[in-house]
């Protein structure tokens, strides 16, 4: 079977650090082109300034991976789906829930695959954590996701704009794990969002969720952490404590700690290949719903202006 010809649209840090190596390491895909008005691409691969230009004049492609800011993904995905091209959506899958619903319907009508890619679900500790928790009674969950925005998002003005999510850009990774591994659904009870005086998106958030049985789930997000970074989920159960650290790559159970190689994006592309081969889509908007609920229900406080 011939590999799927894929174009990488958007050539920022995540595309170069994660997507390019994952595509190169997957025999099911061949990189046909890159697209960005702000980047020169990579040696030996056709590069175009826009998706319109690629579809009109570039090499033929079977799929696109959209690594652009979420605010512009809907139009790009629509262009591709109209041509029957399969679409990989970086997280979050869109700037709004309603536009993702429209994309799902477009994909259904064209028969194209639409994949909302939650990369943290493919961290090494997530699948075994999900299996261990499946028949446990959860009594309490604590999520602490604190990092330095200057390290992870330097110069990315779009992330502070409406639709860019602010601190929920990393925080949604934690929610993508929690919604995947916890045995019961959960929802927001209350929260506080801290917005810098000069920005439109939060730099920190403190949220209280509860699951369908009433177990409390607290979430502490902050983009002002310096030194060691924190990406931890601690789950108290009737059989002891389950803890995921380092963004899900390290799992600690009562029986011990497991460390495994980081293969998040390799797992994403393997999943995308399977979906294309079987003619299916995978679009879970659960994590984005929880973020939308935070913007809907949480209190807002003004924080010190953020200057990069």
Among all residues, which ones are annotated catalytic?
A: 91
Q: How far is CA 158 from CA 169, 200, 259, in A?
A: 11, 10, 34
Separation of alpha carbons 218 and 136, rounded Å: 19
Encode 192-226: b = buried (16+ Cβ within 10 Å), e = exposed: ebbbbeebebbbbbbbebbbeeebebbbbbbbbbe
Q: How far is CA 113 from CA 31, 49, 106, 166, 270, in A?
A: 18, 24, 10, 29, 14
Quickly count: other Cβ atoms within 10 Å of residue 12's Cβ: 19
Separation of alpha carbons 154 and 149, rounded Å: 7
70 close to 96: Cβ distance less than 8 angstroms: no
234 close to 178: Cβ distance less than 8 angstroms: no
Instruction: Name 75's Cβ contacts closer than 8 Å, sequence gap at least 6.
Output: none
């Amino acid at each position: 079977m011939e590999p799927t010809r894929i174009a990488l649209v958007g050539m920022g840090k995540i595309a170069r650090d994660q997507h390019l190596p994952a595509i190169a390491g997957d025999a099911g895909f061949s990189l046909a082109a890159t697209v960005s008005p702000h980047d020169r691409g990579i040696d030996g691969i056709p590069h175009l300034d826009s998706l319109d230009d690629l579809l009109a004049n570039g090499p033929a492609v079977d799929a696109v991976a959209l690594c652009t800011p979420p605010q512009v993904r809907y139009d790009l995905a629509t262009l591709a789906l109209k041509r029957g091209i399969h679409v990989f959506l970086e997280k979050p899958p869109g700037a709004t829930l309603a536009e993702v619903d429209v994309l799902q319907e477009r994909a259904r009508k064209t028969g194209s695959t639409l994949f909302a890619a939650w990369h943290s679900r493919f961290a090494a500790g997530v699948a075994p954590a999900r299996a261990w928790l499946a028949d446990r009674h959860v009594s309490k969950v604590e999520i602490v996701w604190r990092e330095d925005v200057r390290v992870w998002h330097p110069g990315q003005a779009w992330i502070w704009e409406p639709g860019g999510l602010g601190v929920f850009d990393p925080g949604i990774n934690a929610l993508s794990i929690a919604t995947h591994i916890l045995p019961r659904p959960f929802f927001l009870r209350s929260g506080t969002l801290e917005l810098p005086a000069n920005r439109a998106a939060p730099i920190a958030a403190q949220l209280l969720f509860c699951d369908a049985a009433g177990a409390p789930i607290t979430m502490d997000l902050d983009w002002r952490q310096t030194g060691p970074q924190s990406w931890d989920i601690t789950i108290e159960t009737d059989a002891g404590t389950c803890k995921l650290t380092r963004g899900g790559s390290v799992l600690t159970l009562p029986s011990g700690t497991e460390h495994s190689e980081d293969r998040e994006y390799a797992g994403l592309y393997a999943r995308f290949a399977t979906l294309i081969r079987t003619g299916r889509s995978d679009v879970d908007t659960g994590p984005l719903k929880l973020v939308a609920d935070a913007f809907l229900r949480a209190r807002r406080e003004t924080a010190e202006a953020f200057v990069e």
